[in-house]
Chain A
């Protein structure tokens, strides 16, 4: 109610009483000043601000795409280096493998050779020993007859007191033996 009173008073006080936004008194002034100010504004924006801003944004865009290209190039380089490294590694691995294989083979061959040598040595020694054993055995067996004859001679002499010839005894022993 305060407001409506004030409004009424205001309206009554003014001669025209027009609602200010619709009051045509200053239409000309407003149009003129709008044309001047907006015109100047349009010129400043169009001539200075917009070229400047689009320049800034374009520069940044170029810079970013350039940096991206550079990053891509570096990344490709890194990939190539990694591939080369992998290749080298694989080569080194296969090298190492073949060296190890070679060493194993060599060691195996040496071991086999040594074994063979030792085995043949042992076989020789065994054959020699066998020979010696059989010689000793033969010799011992040969001596058995003589011992037997001696013993027989002594026994006969003791038992019958008769002297027997060596030839008889031997004959008898061999007869028993055979």
Chain B
């Protein structure tokens, strides 16, 4: 039972709450959301409290994160894209720290539940649609009509563009969710092999070296994936936001 690779994704009610028939209990997921927010905010507040002209280590880290996201957003969406900087920065930090928290044994991975990643993806999706129409009016619909395409081809191209636009939240959220879920399951399965084989005599103990090495390697890989998926989610966010700003470009 300890070997069940799915058990780590189960939600546990810490404080049961219910409003109008909807369960809004404070669960382990809620706890790690709060932990993510508190730890990240506390770190950034502390790191930037000195406002040093010459940054210390913590302040360098905060500045590095700032410039990393600022450059990503500016490259993808131009300098007008900077209006979305707080959103993009928050998304990146939240997902990154939540993913990293998930790497601790016995910790819960907030981003391994599809409802969370879907909510974040839909936040981006609706931001793009609302800001796109607010900023460009009906010109925003040019997004679905690429310039320089002959009229007969548009009959094919426009539906494709529409479908690809509306499938964005799906791919955006599933990519993050599936990566976190699959990575953690794989880790757990290989770690489970060590225990199972260890219980099967001397030969089993010797053989358990193999899944142990695999788990070691996978842990490193998972740290990379945790960062990379936060990066990819943020990068895609920047590109989608660019469509809201420049629907007739690119």
Contact = CB atoms under 8 A, between A and B. Distances in A.
Interface in B57-78: 59, 62-63, 66-67
A85 interface: no
Nearest to A46: B86
A60 B54 CA distance: 8
A33 B55 CA distance: 35
Given A33-B26, A37-B34, A20 B59 contact: no
A2 B192 contact: yes
A144 B181 CA distance: 155
Interface in A39-62: 40-42, 44-46, 48-50, 52-57, 59-60
B94 A41 contact: yes
Nearest to A44: B41
B11 interface: yes
Given A20-B6, A26-B23, A30-B116, 4 more contacts: A33-B24, A45-B44, A46-B90, A63-B53
Given A46-B90, A63-B53, A32 B24 contact: yes
Given A19-B6, A20-B9, A29 B45 contact: no
Interface residues of B, number: 57
5 contacts: A3-B192, A21-B112, A41-B93, A49-B62, A56-B63
Interface residues of A, number: 42
Given A3-B5, A33-B30, A59-B53, A26 B11 contact: yes
A26 B29 contact: yes
A53 B6 contact: no
A7 B2 CA distance: 10
A35 B2 CA distance: 32
A15 to B, nearest CB: 13
Interface string A103-125: 00000000000000000000000
A contact patch SS: helix
Interface in B140-198: 177, 181, 189, 192, 196
B22 interface: yes
Contacts of B112: 21
Those 7 A-B pairs whose CB atoms lie nearest each other, nearest first: A46-B86, A33-B30, A37-B33, A28-B22, A20-B9, A2-B196, A41-B37
A45 B51 contact: no
A30 B29 contact: yes
Interface of B: 1-7, 9-11, 17, 22-27, 29-30, 33-34, 36-37, 40-41, 44-45, 48, 51-53, 55, 59, 62-63, 66-67, 85-87, 89-90, 93-94, 110, 112-116, 119-120, 177, 181, 189, 192, 196
B4 A49 contact: no
A86 interface: no
Given A10-B4, A42-B90, A56 B48 contact: yes
A109 to B, nearest CB: 73
Contacts of A2: 3, 192, 196
B14 to A, nearest CB: 11
Contacts of B113: 20-21, 30
A141 interface: no
B131 to A, nearest CB: 16
Contacts of B22: 28
Q: Which of A20, A21, A35, A41 has the most CB of B within 10 A?
A: A21
B194 to A, nearest CB: 11
Contacts of A54: 66
Contact of B66 (A23, A57, A59): A57
Given A7-B4, A56-B48, A41 B41 contact: yes
Interface in A61-92: 63
B27 A29 contact: yes
B118 to A, nearest CB: 9
